[in-house]
Amino acid sequence: MRLIFKDEALKRLKRIGAADSNKVQRKIEYLKEYPLAGKQLHGVYEGKYSLRAGPLRIIYTCTPDTQTIKILTIDYRGDVYKG
């Protein structure tokens, strides 16, 4: 699977502490093998997935046809779903 990061996701990843950043990096590697491992979201997030990485959530889309995972954002659980 090919990974694409939106600018917002890269910016937030840089602001995360070292311990949490390692958790996120491991989960992103895991996503390459198991792209549908995350929880499918509903409502305004329809068509997106959420994967836990400790206290953080990785919000992404997966397109099996093109073998692409697009990381939309990474943030702490309490903040990631706020519009």
- pLDDT tier, 1 (very low <50, low <70, confident <90, very high otherwise): confident
What mean pLDDT do residues 57-75 have?
A: 94
The Cβ-side half-sphere exposure at 77, using a 13 Å CA radius, reads 5
Residue 51 contacts by C-beta under 8 Å, 6 or more apart in sequence? Answer: 27, 30, 31, 37, 38, 39, 57, 58, 60
Please give the order of strands across the beta sheet that includes 68-76: 2-5, 68-76, 56-63, 49-53, 39-40
CATH 3.30.2310.20 applies to domain 2-75: yes
Domain boundary assignment for the chain = 2-75
Q: In this structure, what are the phi and psi dihedrals at residue 67, rounded to the nearest 5 degrees? A: 55, 45
- pLDDT tier, 83 (very low <50, low <70, confident <90, very high otherwise): low
pLDDT in tens, 8-48: 999 999 999 888 999 999 999 999 999 999 999 999 999 99
